[in-house]
Amino acid sequence: MNALVTQLEKHPLVIELLAKCDFPSAGTKISCAVSGGPDSMALLILATASGCEVTAFHVDHALRTDSENEFQIVEKLATELGAQFISRTIKVEQGTNLEARARTARYEVMPHDVMTGHTADDQAETVLINLLRGAGLSGLSGMQRNQRHPILALRRTQTHQLCRELRIEVVEDPTNTDPKFQRNRIRHELIPLMDAISQRDVTALLDRQADLFREDSILLDDLAKTIDVADAKLLAAAPIALARRAIRQWLTEIYPPDAATVERVLEVARGTTLACEIGLNREVRRSQQRLQIFTK
């Protein structure tokens, strides 16, 4: 076994943090997305200390002039830990929705089950972002607690502390403080203001709320699956919350519908109208009390 990993397994902070993580059993082959920041470097450290066989994936978005050299910092730590290392360079053009486009491009060049270094602080920010977008219960549930997000129970202060104590060199990304990005304003302005107003740790509160919302959302999804969404009368008579979820589940097989589309389908089920458009050149029609999707 790698000597450094053996030392890490005995480090008090590593032991403390690993107890809160969701890594698979030792020896499992896993992939970790590692940008070089403290959170992802902590992910890499804890993943190897858990005994997993780790491959670190670094992606350069080519958005900053000095970013092409950052892979070396990640490669150095991966090598020291005995992990495999793979680097990818992608091109993301400047423009609107830069964060979303960069995220999509990043995940396209990594394994579908790659682990990320999201923490409880990221979870709180995600809940607030989704709230501002008008998301429903599913959006307010944030990220799933699973092996895709193995350090989601950790706080950002803990991942930073781990890197400091182990004297790990990390990448300082200046875009993480750029106020043109919504998440940064939520992180540096909104959450501190909410802490001050409520006089409590809002991140911990939002993290717990996300868990509660997720449990409720899973229950409602399971109940909605018992509804025959093609039965117009049954759908129209169902509790509105379940009817909407049943429609959303049905249409998501084509694409995730917006709230207006769901309401239009409900009107068809109620008999207010015989058909409605649902996008992608398709429509839902009611015939003999049954709902069907047709291509126009």
pLDDT digits (tens, 9 = 90+) for 3-44: 778 888 889 999 999 999 999 999 999 999 999 999 999 999
Question: Does some domain include residue 287?
Answer: yes
Angle (nearest 5°) at CA 151 between 146 and 152: 65
Question: Does some domain include residue 282?
Answer: yes
| 161 and 283 both lie in a single domain | no
| 53 and 167 both lie in a single domain | yes
| 238 and 172 both lie in a single domain | no
| 47 and 156 both lie in a single domain | yes
Among 143-147, 184-188, 197-201, the range scoring the smallest mean pLDDT is: 143-147
Please tell me whether residue 87 adopts helix, strand or coil conformation. strand
| 12 and 159 both lie in a single domain | yes
Which single residue is written with the structure tokens 């450094």? Answer: 4
Question: Does some domain include residue 121?
Answer: no
| 277 and 154 both lie in a single domain | no
- Structural domain boundaries, residue 43: 3-115+150-177
Mean pLDDT of 114-125: 97
Please state, in angstroms and rounded to a whole number, the distance separating the CA atoms of residues 140 and 181.
20
Confidence at residue 95, expressed as pLDDT on a 0 to 100 scale: 65
| 253 and 170 both lie in a single domain | no
Question: Does some domain include residue 192?
Answer: no
| 110 and 49 both lie in a single domain | yes
| 154 and 15 both lie in a single domain | yes
Provide the greatest CA pair distance for the chain. Answer: 71
Our measurement of the distance from residue 296's CA atom to the centroid of its chain's CA atoms, rounded to an integer in Å, reads 35
Report residue 70's pLDDT band, with 50, 70 and 90 as the boundaries: confident
Question: Does some domain include residue 162?
Answer: yes
Percent of the chain with pLDDT over 90: 77
Mean pLDDT of 65-81: 86
Instruction: Give the total number of structural domains in the chain.
Output: 2
| 160 and 234 both lie in a single domain | no
Instruction: Select the more confidently predicted residue: 94 or 133.
Output: 133
Both tokens of 118, joined, read: 């999201």
Which single residue is written with the structure tokens 């589309």? Answer: 261
| 91 and 165 both lie in a single domain | yes
| Residue 56 pLDDT greater than 80, yes or no | yes
Which range is most confident: 123-127, 138-142, 179-183? Answer: 123-127
Question: Does some domain include residue 265?
Answer: yes
Residue range 164-179, pLDDT digits in tens: 999 999 998 888 888 9
**The domain that contains 13 carries what CATH number?**
3.40.50.620
| Residue 1 pLDDT greater than 60, yes or no | no
Specify the DSSP class assigned to residue 269.
Answer: H
Question: Does some domain include residue 257?
Answer: yes
Residue range 251-292, pLDDT digits in tens: 998 988 999 999 999 999 999 999 999 999 999 999 999 999
Taken as a whole, the chain contains a residue count of 296
Q: Identify whether the C-beta of residue 279 lies closer than 8 Å to the C-beta of residue 261.
A: yes
Question: Does some domain include residue 281?
Answer: yes
Angle (nearest 5°) at CA 99 between 95 and 105: 95
Residue range 228-251, pLDDT digits in tens: 999 999 999 999 999 999 999 999
| 77 and 168 both lie in a single domain | yes
Ramachandran category for residue 82: left, alpha or beta (phi over 0 → left; psi -120 to 50 → alpha): left
Please state, in angstroms and rounded to a whole number, the distance separating the CA atoms of residues 285 and 274.
6
